[in-house]
Chains A and B, each alone.
Chain A
């Protein structure tokens, strides 16, 4: 037994052999797998399926908003009593918006996005064979899967799914008798989110401890790709904020089932005075938004990371302001814990406290603007390759700008009080964290598809998907700003019941048609995604000419990632189009000794020995040049 002296590679293979036996069965390879790449695919495919379900729900309630007086007999066929006579019931409408929000925020843009790319990219880009705790990683996926099943199961209970909005504010969520959705559906919601949090905490612990402990030789923190930085901060945010949701949800559970009064006071239901006294629903809002605000950054940070990487690669330029990018991620992460009050400007918060939250909120614009500026500066005069991943990244920056600008509006308490809970807010967050994060995720899928499946996706379908989705999303959300300024409240069922809202019906029809067309464009994506797995063009090892470590692994995607020794890192990941080098990229594994013609003084980080060698080489080159003249 030579294990004490072997290389880590051999040791790993030995473990592998030890754990799994000689042959991998279908179960160990595809179902209860501990390979991070397979777990990433599980997260991604589950996320995509959940996204399609949420998209379908949104089309259902968009139908109601556009044609509140019209019957769609087809709806009764598959919704049954929830759409008697082909018209969606008000209770079910609320359930639809609630579950749409919950699925999109938690299941698609949290687990589907950071779950996929943390699992895929962390070991591959830092040069590790797998996660720190592969078993826990597997549990993380299966907890997520169970959470999805429980959430969807609520569609099949008698009283319907939860309907208190994805923010489940009490008292609506705390009183099972309040609306039908607050019964069993709400209980299932709480159970599902409880399981989901367990999954996120297990995943997050794994991601952080892998990044900080298992980087390969030479991969110092400041040589990590920005994706890894972003995923690190995402995991830290999740680890600090999800436990807070546990407390909020458990107290809510006590109020619902045991009769405590943490959140409830002075309530009369159907003429009966309830015993609950002295609680405060505002307390729930504090606890919820202490999670809820970091949560929106958990959603957008991975997209930031993915887009940094994709834009740099496809502009063939180093990322502009690498350090500024990292510090702005850090700034956003820290500030995200100090701004939750801006969701609560209308709760009777003291104007002074409101002012404090307003200032912290507006300060977030600074790191966000740094990021946007750096993306644009990276593209500026780049040798741009408009791959599908690149166009989605540019789309992400576009959405982030147009949604971010309205963030300045709603961050101001004086304006927010006017537009609170209107379509202005809906438009704002769907652009800045919804569409932007989805586009970042899609960019990541198009970009790393060859790494996941060994094949390329179809570019034409990619462009078709991009343009229809991009235009469609703007057509959906831009008009909503105007509705919001007019004071049209969100989550209202029938626009025909209020005179001032009736004139917006025609706009709603336009929005719904845009949503349907943009939704149909996703079929192009689904086809492209699933069809290319078997029939796509075979990928080369490094199809995009990228520098990061994942493109040095074999196309076959072996368990353990690298067949021999782990790669050694010699440089940062953004040496694109470096003057003096023969190619327009230099992978991280190439030592400076092999790129003498392109080395710059600052590459050596003040190492006198290396600088001396470089100077000697340059002097020698001068002599060679002279002679050749």
Chain B
């Protein structure tokens, strides 16, 4: 493991720059959560507009599959973080690859859910926009998942030996934090939709 002094995270200036970056990621998470918060309140305002509004269907089972898949991916990402801490780069690579696959699986599962919705007659282009909102929520979330998969791929292809251990751990912590956020965000969306179905 390369512990070149200029990459040493214990250097106070670098430590504070890292702290600032982690903080910036939190701020980004807040900003992106605001999108979903505003969609939720938009949904509530819209649905309160009339008794013919509302989801009015049973949500597809595929959403449960998605939930299981994304929770599993969160676990593998966390294990990848643990492996990074211990410097087990092979194990880390396998776990990250697994996480990316699970992320793609989540993608597929969500697409499948959309198909089920279409079969049920709950189209995106719909005079009951409460149903359109399901697509908007999941679509916005998928855009984030897409970004998350790119983040995981960056972590996967990161040339570990070019950086110090502490830098690698730090980098992996940020990636994991973002991925866990996507996981929690999905659970929020799913619970929100379930409560309104």
**A→B interface (CB under 8 Å):** 1, 3-4, 8, 11-12, 14, 132-133, 136, 201, 204-206, 208-210, 212-214, 239-244, 246-248, 250-251, 254, 258-262, 276-280, 282-283, 286-287, 290
Contacts and interface: CB of A to CB of B under 8 A. Distances in A.
B13 A8 contact: yes
B132 interface: yes
Interface string B28-40: 1011101101110
Interface in B136-177: 136, 140
A13 to B, nearest CB: 11
B35 A247 contact: yes
Contacts of B50: 278
A1 B7 CA distance: 12
A4 B5 contact: yes
Contact of B27 (A205, A248, A280): A205
24 contacts: A3-B6, A11-B13, A14-B6, A133-B20, A201-B31, A204-B31, A205-B24, A205-B31, A208-B27, A209-B20, A239-B30, A240-B31, A243-B38, A244-B35, A244-B38, A248-B38, A262-B132, A278-B50, A278-B53, A278-B129, A280-B49, A283-B42, A283-B46, A286-B41
Contact of B23 (A213, A240, A279, A283): A213
B16 interface: yes
Interface in B1-16: 5-6, 8, 10-14, 16
Contacts of A246: 35
Interface in B93-137: 124-129, 132, 136
Given A260-B124, A283-B45, A242 B31 contact: yes
A197 to B, nearest CB: 10
Given A247-B38, A260-B125, A210 B20 contact: yes
Contacts of B42: 247-248, 251, 262, 283, 286-287
Contacts of A247: 35, 38-39, 42, 140
Interface of B: 5-6, 8, 10-14, 16-17, 19-21, 23-24, 27-28, 30-32, 34-35, 37-39, 41-42, 45-46, 49-50, 52-53, 124-129, 132, 136, 140
Given A205-B27, A247-B39, 9 more contacts: A14-B6, A204-B27, A213-B16, A239-B27, A240-B30, A241-B34, A243-B31, A260-B126, A260-B132
A239 B35 CA distance: 11
B24 A209 contact: yes
B38 A213 contact: no
B172 to A, nearest CB: 19
Nearest to A3: B6
A280 B136 CA distance: 16
A260 B129 contact: yes
Contacts of A240: 30-31, 34
Nearest to A212: B23
Nearest to A14: B6
Given A132-B24, A247-B35, A277 B127 contact: yes
Contacts of A213: 16, 19-20, 23
Mostly, the B contact residues are helix
A318 B126 CA distance: 61
Contacts of B14: 11
Contact of B24 (A3, A11, A133): A133
A1 B19 contact: no
A260 B126 CA distance: 6
Given A4-B11, A283-B45, A133 B126 contact: no
A243 B32 contact: yes
Nearest to A282: B45
Contacts of B27: 204-205, 208-209, 239
In the A-B complex, list the 8 residue pairs whose CB atoms are closest, starting with the nearest. A277-B127, A243-B34, A132-B20, A213-B20, A244-B38, A8-B13, A278-B127, A209-B24
Contacts of A258: 124-125
A562 to B, nearest CB: 14
B133 to A, nearest CB: 8
A283 B24 CA distance: 31
B32 A254 contact: no
B38 A209 contact: no
Instruction: Give the most central of B16, B37, B127: most A CB within 10 Å.
Output: B127
Contacts of B6: 1, 3, 14
A204 B26 CA distance: 12
A254 B13 CA distance: 46
A11 B28 CA distance: 28
Given A210-B20, A213-B23, A243 B129 contact: no
A203 to B, nearest CB: 11
Nearest to A136: B24
Nearest to B28: A205
Contacts of B41: 286, 290
B170 to A, nearest CB: 15
A196 to B, nearest CB: 14
A240 B34 CA distance: 6
Contacts of A259: 125
Contacts of A283: 42, 45-46, 49
Contact of A239 (B5, B31, B46, B127): B31
Interface centre among B20, B37, B136 (most CB of A within 10 A): B20
Contacts of A1: 5-6
Nearest to B46: A283
A14 B4 CA distance: 15
Contacts of A12: 13
Given A133-B24, A206-B24, A239-B27, A262 B17 contact: no
B16 A214 contact: yes
Contacts of B127: 261, 276-278
Contact of B46 (A208, A209, A244, A280): A280
A210 B23 CA distance: 9
Contact of B20 (A214, A248, A250): A214
Contact of A133 (B5, B16, B21): B21
